[in-house]
Copies of this chain bind each other. A is one copy, B any other.
Amino acid sequence: MFTGFRRILFGDPLPTASEEEQRLTKLKALAVFSSDALSSVAYATEEILLVLVMAGTAYLSLSVPVALAITTLAVIVAISYYQTVHGYPSGGGAYVVAEENLGKWPGLVAAAALLIGYVLTVSVSIAAGVEAVTSAIPALFPYRVELCLAATALIMWANLRGIKESGTVFAIPTYGFILILLALIAAGVFRVATGSLAPVSTEAAPQSGGAQPVMPFLLLRTFASGCAALTGIEAISNGVPAFKKPEARNAGITLIAMAVLLGIMFLGITFLASSLGIAPTGGETVVSQIGRHVFGSGPPYLFLQAATALILVLAANTSFVSFPRLSAILAQSRYLPNQLTSLGDRLVFNNGIFALALSSAVLIVIFGGDTHQLVPLYAVGVFLSFTLSQTGMVRHWCRKGQRGWQWKALINGVGAAATGLVTIIVLVANFLRGAWIVALLIPAFVWMFQAIKRYYSSVARQLSLEDLEPREWMDVSDCRSHKIVVPISGMHQGTLAALHFARSMSTDVTAVIVDVEPERTTRVREKWPVWGHGLPLVALESPYRSVIRPLLSYLKKVDQRDPERGLAVVVLPEFVPPHWWNHLFHNQTAILFKAILTYQRGKTGKGRVVINVPYHLERR
C-alpha cells in the first residue's frame, strides 16, 4: 500500500545477506563517528568563557591554561580508548566492557549513562548548530526551537535510509568544517603573531601584568564546563564493527587522527578567543565572533558558519549510529523491549532511531533549544561511562595477562582515575544547574532495565515446555465437542456467515440475541425457522440496555455446563466496511466485548477462544 512512498523516502529494502557490504572506510568512518567530538569545539570554548566572564573579564585569560588541562585529559582518554578498540574489536563500548569485566550492575549503570548521553548529544549539537545559524542570520533567532526540531527530523530520516549512505552524506560537511577551522586558526594565529590583528576590545584584552586572585571553585567550574569538548571521543570504540576489515586497526588509526584534530582545533580556538579578547554575548557565538574578526563578514565567514552549523547538526548523527546499536544489545539481553532488536528493511534499527529522535525533541522543547542550559546536564553521564569503561579495561588486562599487560593496565588505570575525578568535578560543579536530573535518571534507568528483564524472565518461565508432559497435549478431542455461542444482533447475511461457520465446527452451537429492541428480536424470531440452521436461539433480557453484561452472564452459564469440555468458544460476526472510517457508523460493542473475552480464563488457566467471521461490505 505505502510501498511506493516508502521506497522513495527510504530507498529499496536491503536483504539480510548484504549486511557485510555496508561497512565504512576510514575516511567515511571519521566523518560519521568524529563529528560529535570535533564539533564540540564550536561550543566548548564558549562554555569556558561563559563561566570566567561571570567572575570578571580579567579572568578571561585563564581560558588558555584550562584548555591545556582539558587537552591533556583528552590525550589520556584517547590513549585509553585506543586500547579499548584493540581489546574489544566487537564493539559495544562502555556497556560491554563494564558488564564483562565489572559485572552486571556497573554494566547497567554504564548503559544508562550512555543512553542519556546520546540523547543529550543530539539535543546539544542541534541546539548549538542552530545557534551558529542564528549568529549569522539574527532574524532566525525567534524560530530556534522550530529549526532544531526540523533538523532532528532530517537526521532521523537520513539514518532511516541506512548507515552507508549516511557516511556519504556526512563526509563533505565534516571535512569542510575541519578545513575551514584549520584555515581560521592558521590565519588568526599568523596575524596575531605578526601583530596585524588587534583585539576586539581593549577592555577585555588579556592583562598579562596584573595578577588576579584565582578562586579554586571558579577554576573547577570552568574546567567542568570545558569538559564538554571531550564528549563523543568514545564513539569510535562503540562502532568498531562498522569499519572495514581489519576493523580494530582501522578504528584505532581513525581514533588517533580524530584526537589530534580535536586537540589542535580546541586549543587554537581558545587561544584566538583569548588573544582577541572575545567574550561571550547573548546573540552571537564565540566562534562566529572570531570568524567575523579574522575573515570579515564575507564568503569565508559565511562558509565557516555554514560548516559549523552543518557539522553540529550532523554531530547528532553519532548518536543516531550508537544509540540504536546499544539499545539493540540491551534488548537482546532483555533489558529493553524486544522491538529494539529488529533490523528494518534498510538494515538499520528503526525503533531505536525513532526513540532517540523523540527523546531529543522533547529535551529541545523543554529547554527551549538553549545550549547553555543543556550543557550542564551533559558531561556527568559521559564521564561516568568513561570511568566505568576504563576501570573495566584495567580488569580486562589483569585477567588476560597478555605480554605487557602491566603497561596496558597502568595506562587504562590512569585514564580511569582521571575520568573518575572529572566525573565528581562535573557532578558537583553543575549539580544545581541540571546535573541532578541526570543523577536521578541514571538509577531510574537501571531500575527500568531490571524490571523489564524480570518481566521477560517471568514470561519465559511461563511459556517453558520443561515441566509439561507431551502426551496430555496430544490428546485431541473431537471437533464436534466444542461448545459454541454465536451472539447476533439481527438476521442478515453477516449473521448467516457466522452461523454457517459455527455449524461447520461443532454440533453444539447456540445463537443468542440480547433483547434491547423488542421489535428486532421479534423479526429475528420470525426468520429463524428458515434461516436458523436448525440451531437453538436464546433471547437474553436486558433491563438496563447493556448488550455485554447479559452475554457475559450467559457465557458463564455455558462454561459451567460440562466443564471438562472447556470454556465456550465465541463466534463473532464482524462487518468489514469498505473504508476504515466507516467503522464510525457501526456499533463498536463487538470490539469491547472481544477485549473482555480475551481477558477471561477458565479454571485450568486456559483462555477463551474467539473466532471472527468477517462479512465484507462493498461501496455500492
Residue of B nearest to A620 (CB): B458
Distance of A339 Cα from B492 Cα, bound (Å)? 19
User: Which chain B residues border A478 with CB–CB below 8 Å?
Assistant: 504
Is A590 an interface residue when CB atoms closer than 8 A count as contact? no
Distance of A437 Cα from B296 Cα, bound (Å)? 55
The segment out of A250-258, A268-276, A468-476 that lies at the interface is A468-476
Distance of A479 Cα from B503 Cα, bound (Å)? 8
Q: Which of B468, B612, B613 contacts A493 (CB 8 A)?
A: B468
* Contact A531 B601, beta carbon cutoff 8 Å: no
Is A521 an interface residue when CB atoms closer than 8 A count as contact? no
* Contact A345 B464, beta carbon cutoff 8 Å: no
The segment out of A83-91, A281-289, A538-546 that lies at the interface is A538-546
User: Given contacts A504-B479, A544-B13, are A601 and B585 in contact (CB under 8 A)?
Assistant: no
Main SS of chain A's interface residues? mixed
User: Which chain B residues border A606 with CB–CB below 8 Å?
Assistant: 497
User: Which chain B residues border A575 with CB–CB below 8 Å?
Assistant: 459
User: Which chain B residues border A153 with CB–CB below 8 Å?
Assistant: none
**Distance of A454 from chain B, by nearest CB (Å):** 10
Is A213 an interface residue when CB atoms closer than 8 A count as contact? no
* Contact B464 A16, beta carbon cutoff 8 Å: no
Is A73 an interface residue when CB atoms closer than 8 A count as contact? no
* Contact B610 A611, beta carbon cutoff 8 Å: yes
Residue of B nearest to A499 (CB): B473
**Distance of A17 from chain B, by nearest CB (Å):** 7
Residue of B nearest to A1 (CB): B596
Residue-wise interface mask of A (490-515) relative to B, using a CB-CB cutoff of 8 A (1 in contact, 0 not): 11111011001101111000000000
Is A480 an interface residue when CB atoms closer than 8 A count as contact? yes
Residue of B nearest to A455 (CB): B585
Q: Which of B470, B477, B480, B610 contacts A530 (CB 8 A)?
A: B470
Is A591 an interface residue when CB atoms closer than 8 A count as contact? no
Q: Which of A570-620 contact B (CB under 8 A)?
A: 574-577, 582, 584-588, 598-599, 601, 605-620
Is A400 an interface residue when CB atoms closer than 8 A count as contact? no
User: Which chain B residues border A17 with CB–CB below 8 Å?
Assistant: 543
* Contact B504 A492, beta carbon cutoff 8 Å: no
Is A452 an interface residue when CB atoms closer than 8 A count as contact? yes
Is A342 an interface residue when CB atoms closer than 8 A count as contact? yes
Is A533 an interface residue when CB atoms closer than 8 A count as contact? yes
**Distance of A604 from chain B, by nearest CB (Å):** 11
Residue of B nearest to A529 (CB): B470
Is A214 an interface residue when CB atoms closer than 8 A count as contact? no
* Contact B493 A476, beta carbon cutoff 8 Å: no
User: Which chain B residues border A500 with CB–CB below 8 Å?
Assistant: 473, 476
* Contact A479 B506, beta carbon cutoff 8 Å: yes
**Distance of A395 from chain B, by nearest CB (Å):** 30
Residue-wise interface mask of A (443-475) relative to B, using a CB-CB cutoff of 8 A (1 in contact, 0 not): 000000000100110110111110010100110
**Distance of A488 from chain B, by nearest CB (Å):** 12
Is A482 an interface residue when CB atoms closer than 8 A count as contact? yes
User: Which chain B residues border A608 with CB–CB below 8 Å?
Assistant: 614
User: Which chain B residues border A534 with CB–CB below 8 Å?
Assistant: 474
* Contact A504 B476, beta carbon cutoff 8 Å: yes
Is A343 an interface residue when CB atoms closer than 8 A count as contact? yes
User: Which chain B residues border A246 with CB–CB below 8 Å?
Assistant: none
- Total copies of the chain: 2
* Contact B598 A607, beta carbon cutoff 8 Å: no
User: Given contacts A464-B493, A609-B501, are A533 and B474 in contact (CB under 8 A)?
Assistant: yes
User: Which chain B residues border A609 with CB–CB below 8 Å?
Assistant: 501, 611-614
Pick from A462, A490, A576, A615 the residue with the most CB of B within 10 Å.
A462
* Contact A504 B477, beta carbon cutoff 8 Å: yes
User: Given contacts A500-B476, A587-B338, are A607 and B616 in contact (CB under 8 A)?
Assistant: yes
Q: Which of A512-563 contact B (CB under 8 A)?
A: 527, 530-531, 533-534, 543-546
User: Which chain B residues border A468 with CB–CB below 8 Å?
Assistant: 493, 496
* Contact B465 A493, beta carbon cutoff 8 Å: yes
Is A15 an interface residue when CB atoms closer than 8 A count as contact? yes
Is A337 an interface residue when CB atoms closer than 8 A count as contact? yes
Distance of A480 Cα from B504 Cα, bound (Å)? 9
Pick from A478, A612, A617 the residue with the most CB of B within 10 Å.
A612
**Distance of A308 from chain B, by nearest CB (Å):** 39
User: Which chain B residues border A476 with CB–CB below 8 Å?
Assistant: 500, 503-504, 533
**Distance of A552 from chain B, by nearest CB (Å):** 12
Residue of B nearest to A599 (CB): B576
Q: Which of B337, B491, B576, B588 contacts A584 (CB 8 A)?
A: B337
**Distance of A596 from chain B, by nearest CB (Å):** 9
User: Given contacts A465-B496, A533-B476, A576-B599, are A452 and B585 in contact (CB under 8 A)?
Assistant: yes
Q: Which of B462, B496, B546, B616 contacts A618 (CB 8 A)?
A: B462
* Contact B474 A607, beta carbon cutoff 8 Å: no
* Contact B462 A620, beta carbon cutoff 8 Å: yes
* Contact A343 B610, beta carbon cutoff 8 Å: no
User: Which chain B residues border A574 with CB–CB below 8 Å?
Assistant: 598
* Contact B462 A479, beta carbon cutoff 8 Å: no
Distance of A504 Cα from B496 Cα, bound (Å)? 23
Can you report 19 residue pairs joining A to B where beta carbons are below 8 Å apart?
A: A13-B546, A16-B544, A17-B543, A342-B545, A452-B585, A455-B585, A456-B585, A459-B585, A461-B620, A462-B618, A463-B490, A465-B493, A473-B496, A477-B504, A478-B504, A497-B606, A576-B599, A610-B614, A611-B612
Given contacts A345-B544, A601-B614, A601-B616, 11 further A-B contacts (CB under 8 A): A13-B544, A338-B585, A459-B575, A463-B494, A477-B504, A479-B480, A497-B607, A574-B598, A598-B614, A605-B616, A611-B612
Closest 6 A-B residue pairs measured CB to CB?
A: A607-B614, A463-B492, A15-B543, A479-B479, A13-B544, A476-B503
